[in-house]
Amino acid sequence: MAGQKQQKDIGLKILTLNCWGVPVPVVCKHRNERMPAIGDAVANSDLDVAVFQEIWHKGDFDILKQRISKTLPYSHYFYSGSIGSGLCVFSKWPIGQTLYHRFDPNGYAHKVQHGDWFGGKGVGLAVITVGGVTLNVYITHIHAEYNRENDEYLAHRIAQAFSLSQFVKLTSLGADLSLVCGDLNLEPVDLGYRLILTNAGLGDCWLDKMTSDTSDKAGLTCDCPGNSYCPSKSAGKRIDYILYKAGNGVEATVSKCDVTMGRVPGKAFSYSDHEGVQAEITVKNSQNSIVPTPDPKTEVTPLLEESLGLLDEGLTVTRSGTRFFTIFAVLCLLLAYIITVVHIPYPLDFFVGVFRVALILATGYGVVQTLVMIRSEVHGLEAAREDVKNLLQHLKS
């Protein structure tokens, strides 16, 4: 544990990659070739820990496990939601403890094309102990943005970013090194990114690195022009991260950080539609037993205040959905009734019959939305708002 006199001196290499493992053949290209290639790349590396996102299909995890297990024999998949969290971790050292913390709210069930709701998104924690060093590896994948100009999920994503930061802050007190890895779906200028770093007291490996082989100095990881699955003229963005924090009595140095896992050797395509991020971090004892934390007045407080405003806006929009879905359900039921009592001649009656079935199902959906889903979303946002308020009050006192 941190703060004891035991010698702590390790160096570790860690990789994070959003693998684009959507199990829909036409939409998600070369999945059957990319997954073994990712596995082989990790198996032939000198990595100590590798974490992945978007491993939605259990078969893909098995492929990775089969290829990687000789190099990184310990692994864990974080099951969640109806299609899985997509998150997993491979480690050279035994994974002692695991815990999955699910985010709430997490998008909408009716946005099937987005699908985040079905993944039961959250943050997975794997506690690894090696050479007297307790390593907390957090893997996460925050709800996607989809539309940067008009982000209908903004309040959800702020709630998730805050929940992640609180979870990391409150579970990392016993760790010598905490690493928060994954696709945050947040750019460095975004409120959510700044909230995670300042509230959880994390550094960004890419920013704090001593050296790097990466030619792209912006460290872009998504929508990169060099990626085979992205338009060559896309601007690119940095949304995949390895964030880190040293425990008390410990000093962590990011000796190297690279954007990696670009094109598959000998193939015309990339490993994924994201690039990976790899970092080398050394951990050793330090006389500075207290880890510096951000100054609440100047750093955390304004971010919490900004978050509060966005959560309140999100709540207003969400609550207005109750009236919409109530009217929707009533109209569907009314229309179903009208096409039942009005005589429809053959052969039209068959199609009208199918339409009636759809209307009845839509009515049921509207009722479930009103009575269950929207209420649940409101509670998720209210929970985030109250948590933010408590922390704000605490920091101001």
Tell me the catalytic residues: 274
- Quick one: which of 33, 99, 309, 316 contacts a copy of itself (CB under 8 A)? 99
376 sits near a copy of itself (criterion: CB under 8 A): yes
Binding mask 284-323 for a copy of itself (x = CB under 8 A): ----------------------------------------
Half-sphere exposure in the Cβ direction for 135 (13 Å, CA): 29
CB of 210 or CB of 357, closer to a copy of itself: 357
Query: Tokens standing for 314?
Result: 């999100």
3-state DSSP call for residue 200?
Answer: helix
Closest CA to 70 of 52, 51, 44: 44
- Single out the segment in contact with a copy of itself by CB under 8 A; choices: 42-50, 102-110, 255-263, 318-326: 102-110
DSSP per-residue codes, 295-361 = -IIIIIHHHHHHHHHHHHHHHHHHHHHHHHHHHHHHHHHHHHHHHHHS---TTHHHHHHHHHHHHHH
Q: Which amino acid is at 377?
A: E
Please state, in angstroms and rounded to a whole number, the distance separating the CA atoms of residues 367 and 107. 18
3-state DSSP call for residue 244?
Answer: strand
Please state, in angstroms and rounded to a whole number, the distance separating the CA atoms of residues 88 and 260. 19
CB of 93 or CB of 241, closer to a copy of itself: 93
- Quick one: which of 11, 173, 213, 297 contacts a copy of itself (CB under 8 A)? 173
- Quick one: which of 53, 140, 160, 163 contacts a copy of itself (CB under 8 A)? 163
CB of 256 or CB of 375, closer to a copy of itself: 375
3 sits near a copy of itself (criterion: CB under 8 A): yes
360 sits near a copy of itself (criterion: CB under 8 A): yes
CB of 99 or CB of 210, closer to a copy of itself: 99
- Single out the segment in contact with a copy of itself by CB under 8 A; choices: 71-79, 221-229, 300-308, 319-327: 71-79
Taken in order 221, 226, 231, 232, the sign of the CA dihedral is: positive
**Under 8 Å between Cβ of 39 and 68:** yes
Closest CA to 276 of 228, 229, 222: 222
- Single out the segment in contact with a copy of itself by CB under 8 A; choices: 47-55, 76-84, 137-145, 183-191: 76-84
Residues forming contacts to a copy of itself in the complex (CB under 8 A) are 3, 76-84, 94-102, 104, 109, 118, 120, 125, 127, 163, 166-167, 169-171, 173-174, 336, 340, 353, 357, 360-361, 364-365, 371-373, 375-376, 378-380, 382-383, 386-387, 390-391, 393-394, 397
